[in-house]
Structure 1
Amino acid sequence: MPTPPRGARPVSGGTSALDLPRTPTGVQQVLHALRARTPRRGAGLPAEPRWRSEFVDRTAKGPRTSLRAFGYADAELGRWGRRVDDTAVAGPLRLLTEEGLAALTEVCDGLERAAGTTRFIATRRVRGADLLSPFINNMIRDRVFLLACSRLVGVPLVPHPLRIPTAQINYSAGQGRREIVRWHRDGMDYVFTIQLSGEEDYEGGRFTYFQGRTDEFPGDGPGDPRVREAPCRERGATLFLHGSRIFHAVTPVTDGRRVVLVLSFFCPYFARQDSNTFWHLAGDDGIPATAVAWLRLKWPVRNPAVDFSLRAGSPVVTWADLDRD
């Protein structure tokens, strides 16, 4: 049995966690793609705080767990020279200062009016939040923020070049609405979640993941000890997940309100190994909104660090940057 990430614990009532529905696959996934519509674009906020690099907590550190602890072999890990892409989970930790967290919360609360509903993965969400909010756009393209995220994961990161999935806000509320996040693995490899609600604000809404290979899910059935809860219910708690290699879900919020910002990043050096699949994206955003952007993502490049950074409208982050103080 692999050693669990520090602070993680088996889910109490594991049966209910495994009873959550899974994201549709195969023909059902294609049908979702045919029915899906490009996320609507609201007017954003009439006014919002200004992003500042000082909002990043430069002392942010947290526990890190390797993909090997999830059962992945060395030969399955991405490599660039002597560098290995081996982080499965990092955190929880505090990535933003209190002032930065308050400003981000204000922005995400204001964007709730643009939220749409879907039955694909997350029930109620805003996709492409950075296209609506200058604050979020500037945050995820700020060099200080990107370096902090990259150093936590151990690989150079830029915002994902596919713009619609880059920043998503998930909203969940109780009162019988049963808003959930289904069991799924992400189309993106590098995913950060930032809790904007504290555990005192809601009941349920537990971030749950399967500590094993994706081809082993759902393991031995209800009560499988590899179904674990990440201890990230504190407001401001930030968790990294190698999303494409880990099945995860969020249990229903039974009371109160839970808001989480989900950010998807991209490592230019592992562009050719990127796990993104067309139908995974199209199931959320529809075929027309996905086709052109996805094909551009697959174009060959000569200098991945520069080319993909330009596509994402981001500063360039390199391996050398990770080694500097």
Structure 2
Amino acid sequence: MSWVMSATTKPTAQVAVPFPSELPPGYAWFDDEPVFDPERHLRLEQPAEITTLADLGYGPDDIAGKATTIAASSPFRVLSDEGAEVMLAVARRLRAFCRPAGDRIERTVRGGCYRSKWLRDLCISPEVTQHFADIYGTSIAPHPMPVHLGHINYEPSRIEAAVDKWHHDTIPLDYVMMVTDPAVTPGGRFEYFLGTKAEAAAMRARGETPPAERIVAPEFPGPGPGSVIALHGDMVVHRGGPLTELAERITMVNAFVSADASLDAQSRNRDLIGVDDPQTLYSEWARAVAWRSRDRLDAIVASAGFDGDVESVATQLEFAIDDVRTAIDEMRSGGGVIEHYE
């Protein structure tokens, strides 16, 4: 395990798609929250260790085109004690809106950033985004689909159920924040697999799950609430393990994308059909892929010279609009099954 910075120039915090200025139908702001204040609510620390994709067994071809070479960090603080208290209060208030996410998660809240301005401002905070850009070693932006901002998972109703099954994320980069204190929670550990997605898929085909000797369950520093793990969510197989007794257990996941739209999207938006509110999902999805395609088309506009043959130019155009064409096909084909490894 090693610390790796993948960029030669300083990574920056960017904005891919601005947060919408109006709320989707059926949402309303909480009207009695504190105002998010970075000076009071943040305590941005550095992780002590970084695990790379190569450490997990990924090869150069697997890593090419991905947002970063980093897989996961050791735990570190993002919120101050006061910020952690506000985060817990917001999460408890949002619990009233929880629902299942397919058969993977029993209780989750998505779209919380359309209800809590405090949560929204934390999730799109330039200070936090810059901090994670430095950790990932690449320029990033808050995810252009707000349904991926401030995703909250709650404990299941059954003791035998995992909080969240073994899976890789529908998003490229994120952090997983402990909202409740993992030091006093009975079980429910955040765990990740020291292996690749292909290995996890092969295990599933054999009716197996990752073995204990290849599972990392990081110890969160005290006080635990407000501590996070930086994660390459699309590439790291992970889960929220089962509780040993029923108790409150809350985590928050906030997503980022690479600011470089020429890289892989590392998204599975089709999984969200039937999970997120349709009007919200399709509008956000359209804006996200339009941003990526516009960025790629702008690169063609800015290109110089007249040396392109018909095939190379046509290929450039296909690449530029590939995300849009895929989104259209997936939207019209309807929902898929939320992927996991159990």
Q: TM-score range by the shorter chain?
A: 0.7 to 0.9
Please tell me whether residue 301 in structure 1 is matched to residue 294 in structure 2: yes
User: What's the offset of the Cα at 1:291?
Assistant: 3.5
Contact 1:188 1:276 in 2 (8 A): yes
- Per-residue displacement from partner, 1:55-101 (whole Å, max 9, x unpaired)? 22244333111111011122332469xxx821100121011221221
Partner SS state of residue 145, structure 1: helix
Which residue number corresponds to residue 82 of structure 2? 99
Change (3 A) 1:110 1:199: same
Superposed, which structure 2 residues align to 1:189-228 within 5 Å? 189-217=172-200, 221=208, 223=211, 225-228=213-216
Q: Which amino acid aligns with 1:226?
A: R
- State the number of aligned residues: 267
**Shift in alpha-carbon separation, 1:290–1:62, aligned structure 2, 3 A:** same
CA distance in 1, matches of 2:220, 2:153: 15
Structure 1's 204 and 224: CA in aligned 2 closer, same or farther, altered over 3 A? closer
SS in 2 for 1:274: coil
In the alignment, structure 1 residue 50 sits paired with structure 2 residue 56: no
Which residues of structure 2 form unaligned runs of 5+? 4-23, 299-342
What is the CA–CA distance in structure 1 between the aligned matches of 2:25 and 2:240, rounded to whole Å? Answer: 24
Q: Give the unaligned 5+ runs of structure 1.
A: 6-38, 306-325
Q: Offset at 1:304? A: 10
Give the superposed CA RMSD. 3.0
Q: Does 1:246 align with 2:229?
A: no
Alignment correspondent of 2:275:
284
- Aligned-partner SS, 2:86: helix
**d(CA) in 2 for partners of 1:43, 1:296:** 22
- Bigger shift: 213-222 or 149-158? 213-222
Separation in 2 of the partners of 1:76 and 1:177?
Answer: 35
Task: Work out whether 1:268 is the aligned partner of 2:259.
Answer: yes
Please name the residue that 2:125 is paired with: 142
1:71 maps onto 2:62 in alignment: no
Structure 1 residue 127, shift from structure 2 partner:
0.1
SS in 2 for 1:69: helix
- Aligned with 2:105 (options 118, 122, 139): 122
TM-score, length basis structure 1: 0.72
> 8 Å contact 1:158–1:265 — kept in the other structure?
yes
Deviation string, structure 1 residues 131-166 (Cα, Å, up to 9, x no partner): 111001111222112111211221222211112122
**Aligned equivalent of 1:180:** 163
Sequence identity (%): 21
Cα drift, residue 188 of structure 1: 0.4
Q: Distance in 2 between matches of 1:167 and 1:304?
A: 30
Change in Cα spacing, 1:119 to 1:79, as seen in structure 2 (3 Å) is closer
Distance (whole Å) between structure 2 residues aligned to residue 235 and residue 281 of structure 1: 28
Matches within 5 A, 1:3-82: 41=26, 43-54=28-39, 55-78=41-64
In structure 2, the residue corresponding to 1:180 is in which secondary structure? Answer: strand
Alpha carbons of 1:304 and 1:250: their partners in 2 closer, same or farther (altered >3 Å)?
farther
Is 1:170 the counterpart of 2:156 in the alignment?
no
Query: Does the CA contact (< 8 Å) of 2:162 and 2:188 recur in 1?
Result: no
Distance 2:26 2:79 in 1: 27
Deviation at 1:179, TM superposition (A): 5.9
Cα deviation, 1:202-232, whole Å, max 9, x if unaligned, reads 2121112211110111566463622332324
Q: In proportion to residue count, which structure has more strand?
A: 1
Matched AA of 1:62: A
What is residue 235 of structure 1 aligned with on the other side? 225
